[in-house]
Each structure stands twice: as structure tokens, then as C-alpha cells.
Amino acid sequence: MPAVEGSINLGALLRSADLHRAAAPVSVVVDSDVRSRVERGRDHLRGVLQEEERPVYGATTGFGALVGFPGRDEETDQCDNTLAHLGAGQGPDLPHEVGRAALLVRVWSLAQGKSGVSAHVVDGLAAMFATTFTPAIPRYGSVGASGDLIPLAYATQALRGRGHAYADGQRMPAAEALGHAGLTPLTLDGRDALALVNGTSLTTAATALALDSIRSSHRATQALTCLLVDLLGCDPGFLDPRLLDAYGHPGAVDVADGMRKTLSGMTPAGTRALQEPYSIRCSPQLLGAAEDALRYVDGVVEADLSSVSDNPLFFPDDDLVAHGGNFFGQPAAFASDMLAMVTGQLGNLAERQLDLLVDPARNGGLPPMLAAGPGRQHGMQGVQLATTAFVAEIRRAAVPAGMQSLPTNLHNQDVVPFGTQAALRAYDMAALLRLLCGSLAVGLRQAVHVGARRPTSPGCAALLDALVDAIPPVDPDRPLDSDVRTAAELLTAILP
């Protein structure tokens, strides 16, 4: 059995840090309070189902546009009725951390006791997290409206021993993966099955993971901008607090304050032009606007992680079965579209700063492409070509998804948010942004090797020393793909 690190209690608030922890085996605790409210919700469902005049969507009816027709008579058959027709996903499997994070969000929602599920469903999902079991979930097929129906159906089927899954990183039939992990296939009735698929857990998980990665890159871009300023000997007057206070945007004020702290002790070279290019001079305004946008996404993710996304919901105290739309992922769709815009501009800033750094007309006379022997060597030339491609890819993908609604399901789902596409797109773009930060970091490290001054501020000097320790100078030329990844990982590790 794999080592299990720490625990996550389903009775506590869910945090994005928990989603990262769920990528590896972790103990998920179902305490007595959780069990009590789950069982109470289940008992309420059982009582309602005994009243013939009270239909319950998915338990006594068909699904989606076929809600006006009765479902199957047997509860186990109703489970198959829920899941079989949703086996229509396509494309590559989702990354393991996304799939497991989505199921953690799902089980937390079910554990609130408002979904009417069986307690053994919550227990079975919780047990999965102590193992390496990961359902094979195809990327394409969700419109994020009645929840992430198709991808979560694949996850649910895998937990039943159908379809495919991973154990210890190896893809195999789900029944084999369950056995390898020491898990028992879930047995479900119609309500259990519908509750597992009828929520936006994949959208929420991907949005939260993307946000954390983009926040890390935002911090890295801020620190790398300071290192660029110090290496070139720029005048840091563009960070004057009186200037930013007059600008009036909280994010810009806070970013500038952080940059001033990093640059504390810096001595300008006195050789630069009165006004730097916008990629330096306007960096607190750009990074500040990104900070304000990320704070908005923080709020959406926090709300989503504490949300019960399902339909219907059961409220035993009021003897209420509420049919509605808590599975509609519009907040995360808008938030992920915001992340895409932030990623596009942060990536553009990093690429433009690298372009400035390799250009002898603007870098204070350093050799072109920061090559140790221009012509005989090429320095950062290949890396700059790659960063141009990364920026183009980010821009191509940044078209908003949250307003691309298409009617489907016989117009039952006549408006849809496409939050799943928005969230997974932001997750992919976040990875490219990390590489752009790593590329700029390699360029800054190389600049010192070919003649840039050593940083004069202790904060920037410490960052440069970390980069120098991890990345050899480019002299002679060598492939730099792994160095870019190393730099990106280092930035994530050392910046708070």
C-alpha cells in the first residue's frame, strides 16, 4: 500500500490546498457528524419516495429532456439508466491531479447531507483517496450545465469497476485497478448515481488548480521583473508610493509595495533613459490589475468549494425536495475566462521582458541573444522562439468560453455556461505561463554570465544566486528545455 500523508476531514471547509494534497494518497475522514447528516438526508429521501404524489427527479423519472417519462422500476436498473447513456466522452484522459481533485470536490458536496445519497457512497469515495486509484476520465463532453455529467459518469463507472482507471500510474480496466488498490466496487441506486454526476466538481477543481498555478506565476513575474530592473540598473521611481496611491487601484498599490521591498537597497546605474519601456515602467499597473482580477477569482473558487452542486436537494427540517439549478457552472466559467485573460497578459509581459533582455539596443549593451560568442553561439535564441510560440498558443486559446452558450438536450439545457471548457483551458494555459516565467528566469541568469551587473539589492541577489545554483551558464550552446522547466519549478518552490 502507498504511504498516506495527512488527512482531510469532510466535516471541515474544503480548501484549494486540499485539492493538491488529493493528488497523492491522503486520508479522507468521514466523522460522526458527516455520517449523521448524510444518513438523515438519505432517510428523508426514503420517506419522500413512499409518497406517490411526490416525484423526485432521477429517482422516479427519466433524465434531462426525458424527465416527463418514468424511470426504471428497479433501483439498480435506475443507476444504469443514469450512467449508460452518458458514456459519450472523447479525447485524452484528464491529468490525474484534476480527476482526483474533482472527486474530492464531489464527495465534499455529497457529505453535506443535502443530496440524499447512501452513506456507503461517501465512505467508498473517501476510501479511494488513500490509494493511487484514479478514474480514466475523457477530456471532452461536458457543457458544465447539469453538472459535469459525462466526465463524472466515467469517474462513477470506474468506481463501479467499469471502464478504465489507473492504479500506481498504470492504465488498466477499472475492475483490475480497484482490485490492485484494495477497493470494493461501489453499488449505487438511481439517486446515488445521479448525485455523483449532477455537479460541477470537475469545473470547480480545474478552476482552483489553475488559479493556484497562475497565482504562483504572478508572484514569479513580479520577482523576475524586479531582477530585470536591478540587472539593468533602472531607476525604480516608477514604483514611488505616491505615484501608485494616485493611481488608486488596490492591486497596483500592493504589487508596487512588494516590488519596492524586493528592490530595497538597489542602486540605479544612472545610464538608463528617463523613462523605461512599458514592460518595466507599467509593470506595477499591469501586475496590479492581474492581482485585482485574481482576487475576484479567489472569491469564486472559495464559494464553489463550499457549494452543494446537485439537483434536487433535500432539506429534512423543512420536508422539502428542492428542484433547481445548483449544478450550473456559470461562476467558474466567468472566473476561468478571467484567468485566461490574466494569463495572456502575464505571459505577454514575460515574453516582452525577455525580448528586451536579448536586444543589445535596449539591454545596456549586452550581446545579442545573450550569446557568449555571437554567431558561434546563439544563447537564448531558441528559447525566445519558443516563448513566442507559447504566447501565440495562449492568445489563441483565450477566447472566452463562458458566453459561448449553445442549446442542447431538446432545449431543456437551452443555456449552458461551458465552464468545464473554460476551466480546463485555464489549467492548460497556466502550464504555458509557468514555462514563460522559466524562460525569462533562464535569460536573467544568462545575462549576468555575459556581462550584466550583479544585483545591488539583497532580495534580487538572493533570487539570482538560487538561479545560478540551479542552472549552468549557456556557454557553449546546449538544449535549454530542461533548464526552463527547472527554473519554473524553482520559482514555484522559493517564492512565497
What is the band of 69 on the pLDDT scale with cuts at 50, 70, 90? low
Tens-digit pLDDT profile for residues 348-358: 999 999 999 99
The C-alpha atoms of residue 446 and residue 168 are separated, in whole angstroms, by 39
Residue type, 242: R
The C-alpha atoms of residue 174 and residue 457 are separated, in whole angstroms, by 55
Average pLDDT over residues 416-434: 93
Which are the contacts of 15, defined by CB distance < 8 A and separation ≥ 6?
305
On the question of pLDDT at 110 being above 70, the answer is yes
Residue 376: exposed, middle, or buried by beta-carbon count in 10 A (0-12, 13-18, 19+)? exposed
Which residues sit opposite 7 in a β-bridge?
Answer: 27
On the question of pLDDT at 410 being above 70, the answer is no
Beta strands in 131-286 (DSSP E): 134-135, 138-140, 164-167, 170-173
On the question of pLDDT at 51 being above 90, the answer is no
Residue 71 is given by DSSP the state -
Rg (CA), the chain: 26
What is the band of 280 on the pLDDT scale with cuts at 50, 70, 90? very high
Locus of grid cell 426525458? 66
Cell triple for 419: 465552464
Q: Domains of the chain, with CATH numbers?
A: 7-199 (1.10.275.10), 206-494 (1.20.200.10)
Residue 296 appears among annotated catalytic residues:
no
pLDDT at 193: 92
Nearest Cα neighbor of 61 from 46, 48, 73, 43 is: 73
Contact 450, 361 (CB under 8 A): no
On the question of pLDDT at 451 being above 70, the answer is yes
pLDDT at 494: 94
Which range is least confidently modeled, 38-47, 142-151, 208-217, 468-477? 142-151
**pTM confidence score:** 0.95
On the question of pLDDT at 1 being above 60, the answer is no
DSSP letter string, 161-173? T-SEEEETTEEEE
Contact 435, 351 (CB under 8 A): no
Locus of grid cell 433547481? 324
Mapped onto helix, strand or coil, the DSSP state of residue 290 is helix
The angle at the Cα of 227, spanning 224 to 233, to the nearest 5 degrees, equals 145
Task: Kindly report whether the peptide bond that precedes residue 476 is cis, defined as omega within 30 degrees of 0.
Answer: yes
Residue type, 417: P
pLDDT at 103: 98
Mean pLDDT of the chain: 94
Q: Are strands 138-140 and 134-135 parallel, antiparallel or unpaired?
A: unpaired
Helix axes 201-232, 419-449, angle to 10 degrees: 20
Which are the contacts of 363, defined by CB distance < 8 A and separation ≥ 6?
232, 356, 357, 447, 452
Task: Kindly report whether the peptide bond that precedes residue 312 is cis, defined as omega within 30 degrees of 0.
Answer: yes
What is the band of 319 on the pLDDT scale with cuts at 50, 70, 90? very high
pLDDT at 181: 97
Average pLDDT over residues 388-393: 97
Tens-digit pLDDT profile for residues 164-184: 999 999 999 999 999 999 999
Tens-digit pLDDT profile for residues 226-278: 999 999 999 999 999 999 999 999 999 999 999 999 999 999 999 999 999 99
Q: Which of 57, 154, 166, 427 is catalytic?
A: 57
